[in-house]
Structure 1
Amino acid sequence: MASAHPAPPAFVRLAAHPLRWRLLTALASGDLRVRELVALAGEPQSLVSYHLRLLRDGGLVTSTRSTFDGRDSYYHLDVRRCGAALGDAGAALHPALRPGSAREPGRARQHAGVLFVCTGNSARSPIAEALLRLRTGGRIEVASAGSRPRPGMHPDAVRVLREEYGIDIGDRRPRHWDTLTGHEFDYVISLCDKAREVCPEFPARPRRAHWSIPDPGRLDYRALRGVAADIDTRIGHLLPVLQEAPS
């Protein structure tokens, strides 16, 4: 069973220490002897040697004997190992931070279902629905609904999607989430603080997430463009999550 409080990745634990970070950044410019690192760090040799040993044990630095003076050793930063460890640390925080991760619509699991919810289902959630469908090429099930659907779509939401993304939702009608309570989704994402508090449970215990997006009813067209851009950015971060196998 996974720990409720996972430990930080090894790279983070090693590199986060102020002295070890100074040693790593010093070695990034080239190989150095212990006495040179002591001078740069301004710390006692015993302390520098201790932290160098930790970095070496962690595989971030290596040491070799000097071919000029065998009593000296040069420390070398393993840049490739550091890069891989940094990438692993990023991926541990969020799949979108995995090196090479990008918006790859064809890689989203085809059976992954996502439901976006807000109050009126006239702007935020249909924008998210339309953009996720666009970014995945229609390869996953995606829907949106609201707790108190409005009579029609927000005209500026329709305009933003049409002008900025080439998507036409003008003939769409807001719907109540009760019409979807029998459906199974992998993810239910609320985009409205009010909707988050009253969102019902759905079958199969989907993963829940919340995106706190401003109320479009209080925004002008320019601000709503910014909201759509924010949602699109979040969609980009969601795509690698959809590629992950369910726990």
Structure 2
Amino acid sequence: MSDLQPANRTFNVLFLCTGNSARSILAESILSKDGAGRFHAFSAGSQPKGAVQPLALKVLQSFDYPIDGFRSKSWEEFATADAPVMDFVFTVCDNAAGEACPVWPGQPMTAHWGIEDPAGVEGTDLQKEAAFVTAFRHLKNRITAFSSLPVASLDKASLRAKLTEIGQSEGSTSARNSAA
């Protein structure tokens, strides 16, 4: 996207979820590893839980993704004048997508990539862990599609369409809700 500047630039990406304890943490870790050098990943929540879900960390570690330094934090940290300027902001839960977000410095591209909340699954420990693995898989697929885009060479309209399309891929709560 010509407005996003040179192709060799590192883009800042913020993943939002209400609690910033599971999905947004998974996404931050995945993009940190898979997009290293091209993207700098962050995560936050509108109402942070204050702690990262242990199963999120367990699943990340089992797939050899980074787990150090993650914390549940408010999206207000990224709406201040001294915060990193975001190029992209993705909501990964339906609640966060419906909330009034702060005004982000730099007017980043936004998209909704909603998936089911693995932390909301009840059942055996195995069923709960399976929900986190499913969330990981859906987020990894979206992030792989996103990170393979020629971001610097796409115009805004094309990029926005691609980001929306990625958000409607397998596991999307948006697609499921619109089919109901």
State whether TM-score is above 0.5.
Answer: yes
Aligned-partner Cα distance in 1 for 2:150–2:46: 25
Structure 1: stretches of 5+ with no match in the other structure? 1-107
Number of the residue aligned with 1:205:
107
Give the letter aligned to residue 79 of structure 2: T
Aligned-partner Cα distance in 1 for 2:51–2:37: 24
Is residue 233 of structure 1 aligned with residue 114 of structure 2? no
- CA contact 1:192–1:215 (8 Å) conserved in 2: yes
Aligned-partner Cα distance in 2 for 1:161–1:242: 27
How many percent of aligned residue pairs carry the same amino acid?
A: 34
Q: Deviations over 1:146-200 (max 9, x none)?
A: 0111121101100000012x12425421110101103311110000111112222
Number of the residue aligned with 2:73:
175
Aligned length: 139
Q: Trace 1:35-114 onto structure 2 (pairs within 5 A).
A: 109-114=8-13
Aligned-partner Cα distance in 1 for 2:13–2:39: 8
Structure 2: stretches of 5+ with no match in the other structure? 1-6, 122-127, 157-180
Larger Rg: 1
Number of the residue aligned with 1:162:
61
Aligned-partner Cα distance in 2 for 1:133–1:119: 20
Q: Deviations over 1:96-146 (max 9, x none)?
A: xxxxxxxxxxxx743311110001111101110110111122442221100
Aligned-partner Cα distance in 1 for 2:39–2:104: 18
Higher mean C-alpha deviation, range 219-228 or range 135-144: 135-144
CA deviation after TM superposition for structure 1 residue 242, in Å: 5.6
Aligned-partner Cα distance in 1 for 2:89–2:19: 16
- When residues 216 and 242 of structure 1 are mapped into structure 2, their CA distance, relative to the original with a 3 A threshold, is farther
Aligned-partner Cα distance in 1 for 2:8–2:131: 33
SS at match of 2:33: helix
Give the alignment's Cα RMSD to 1 decimal.
Answer: 1.8
Number of the residue aligned with 1:76:
none
